[in-house]
Chain A
């Protein structure tokens, strides 16, 4: 019984058994994860997707802090009912600069992947302060403090540097800035330049006046700026309705 001999041999050599166990359990990872680095169809090639501006990024931080993802997904699946209600299904390319992504897995509230531009800033502000004043049947909690809490912008450059470390193309050097200008255009590249982050944030907040209150920059400004950009970066009118069928 040659087979029995081997079996016993492995079980009595703990070092060998550890190595073989590791090999066995890494098969799943090798098959499911490793190919993603080589498959070039995973991320769709679309124009318009860019990293968030400093203000939007701070809004995204607040989105995470308040746990919005616990009730709201940002992932429109390729189903007819979801297309009719939320719009075009989400592309992998659209969350390529999200760290971490906000796809979520639970919809107590509606999906937010394409909420940008669907409602006015004023609606968002009022709805975040008192959701039931706008949607009587809503079960969303009130977030009145967003409007009254000034946005902390002191660490926005550090936050962007951290994201840069994990691969978001925010620029620190002149060379990186030029590369961004090439890739995203000058206007966007300026927003992605870390040394100008605070200035850019203040400019965007003052110009957009998202919370309807000009006296200062509140957390509401940042969150509404973020919500209003969700799902708006790709202009789907430029693509055929089956343009992304291949990427699955």
Chain B
């Protein structure tokens, strides 16, 4: 109360009066606040001068700060500061450290890389990062694949081949798995015979009578399984037809079950419905040729490389 009284005596009013007696105190801002405000104004003007700011004509004022970078053609360019030029600068800086390694990857053969301990270390770390970003969603973090969807990269069984050249081809060009549907071509008992025969190739318990009928059918023109899977049923890597004799299953498996009947039912299912999956995306264009080479060696080194 006394403080209010004091204020009314010491603080000046703005001098206007409304409705006869309504007055307004004039309390100036603290000095520190006023100078901070002036400082921000000066900061803004300095900032406008250095960095891109005001719209101007059909463009904008670029500011005096600039960035020098080297583009992919090897041209050195100076550009007024912006985030895209800054990115070029950062990529340049990073490539100073990485480029020697990637250049080596580009110039060395796969076998040389595999034998060179320093390069193997680089492949393991660079390859892991690339694999985790790009491959792991399908083939899983360790390359173990996903039964029914995406092949295991750590075993000796390869749909399209496990050599450096074949892995590289798969990465560059992608793959598309396909098996026709036989549900409408073959009768149910024929499909059952074929399934028993295919099971027999991998030593899965089966009906021997059905399997021998399936053997005939497999090599006949009616079902023509041998066209793709080969007369010995060991598959054809040029078209990605899997080896049916190695008891390694991608499409026709029942995870967690060893029951023969379940496996045979799964095989029947694949024969009847066919497959129109097993699509590997094309990585050429999305990844650089050096990155693809790193991945080729990394995948080869996962355990199954040939």
Binding site for B on A (CB under 8 A): 1, 4, 7-8, 11-12, 31, 35, 38-41, 77-80, 83-85, 87, 89, 117-123, 126-127, 133-135, 209, 212, 237, 240-242, 244-248
Chain A residues, Cβ within 8 Å of B90? 79-80
**With the chains together, A41 CA to B82 CA distance in Å?**
13
Q: Judge whether A39 and B286 touch: CB under 8 Å.
A: no
> Are A117's CB and B133's CB within 8 A?
no
Are A242 and B69 neighbours in the complex by a CB distance under 8 Å? Answer: yes
Whether B248 sits at the interface, judged by CB under 8 Å, is no
A79 touches B16 (CB 8 A): no
Instruction: Say yes or no: A39 contacts B59, CB within 8 Å.
Output: yes
Q: Which residues in chain B, 62-99, are within 8 Å of chain A measured between CB atoms?
A: 69, 71-73, 77, 79, 82-88, 90-91, 94
Using a CB-CB cutoff of 8 Å, which residues 118-170 of chain B contact chain A? 133-134, 137-138, 146, 149-150
Could you say which of A78, A85, A117, A122 contacts B87, with CB atoms under 8 Å apart?
Answer: A78
Q: Is the CB of B149 within 8 A of A209?
A: no
Q: List 28 A-B contacts (CB under 8 A).
A: A4-B16, A31-B54, A35-B60, A38-B55, A38-B58, A39-B59, A40-B58, A41-B59, A78-B87, A80-B90, A89-B84, A118-B134, A119-B138, A120-B138, A120-B279, A120-B281, A121-B279, A127-B137, A134-B137, A237-B285, A241-B71, A242-B69, A242-B72, A242-B88, A245-B84, A245-B85, A248-B82, A248-B83
Return B283 CB to nearest CB of chain A, in Å.
Answer: 9
How far, in angstroms, from A156 to B59 measured CA to CA in the complex?
39
Contact status B58-A245, CB under 8 Å: no
Take A39-B59, A119-B138, A134-B137 as given contacts and tell me if A248 and B73 are in contact as well, using a CB distance cutoff of 8 Å.
Answer: no
Q: Could you tell me which residues of chain B, from 264 to 303, have a CB within 8 Å of some CB in chain A?
A: 276-282, 285-286
Q: In the assembled complex, which residues on chain A have CB atoms less than 8 Å from the CB atom of B55?
A: 31, 35, 38-39
Whose C-beta in chain A lies nearest to the C-beta of B17?
A8
If A122-B279, A134-B146 touch, whether A85 touches B60 (CB-CB below 8 Å) is no
A87 — nearest CB in chain B belongs to which residue? B286
Given contacts A12-B18, A80-B91, 5 further A-B contacts (CB under 8 A): A4-B14, A126-B149, A237-B285, A245-B79, A247-B84
Distance of A35 Cα from B56 Cα, bound (Å) = 8
Chain B residues within an 8 Å CB radius of A246? 79
Q: Answer yes or no: B15 CB below 8 A from chain A CBs.
A: yes
User: Could you mark each residue 2-31 of chain B with 1 if its beta carbon is under 8 Å from any beta carbon of chain A, else 0?
Assistant: 000000000000111010000000000000
**Cβ of B54: which chain A residues have Cβ within 8 Å of it?**
31
The answer to whether A123 and B138 touch (CB under 8 A), given A41-B58, A242-B77, is: yes
Give the complex CA separation of A85 and B134 in angstroms: 8
Residue of B nearest to A126 (CB): B149
State in angstroms the CA–CA spacing of A134 and B147 once bound together: 11
Given A12-B18, A40-B58 in contact, is the A85-B138 Cβ separation under 8 Å? no
User: Given the known A-B contacts A87-B286, A122-B277, are A78 and B149 also in contact in the complex, defined by CB atoms under 8 Å?
Assistant: no
Do the beta carbons of B137 and A83 come within 8 Å of each other? no
Known: A4-B15, A38-B58. A122 touches B149 (CB 8 A): yes
B54 nearest in chain A by CB position? A31
Whether A240 contacts B73 by the Cβ 8 Å rule is: yes
> Chain B nearest CB: distance from A77 CB in Å?
8
| Chain B neighbourhood of A121, CB < 8 A | 279
Interface centre among B55, B79, B86, B133 (most CB of A within 10 A): B55
A80 touches B94 (CB 8 A): yes
A40 to B137 Cα, complex, angstroms: 40
Contacts of A212 in B (CB 8 A): 276-277
User: With contacts A209-B276, A212-B276 known, is A248 near B84, CB below 8 A?
Assistant: yes
Decide: A39 near B16, CB < 8 A? Known: A240-B71, A242-B88. no
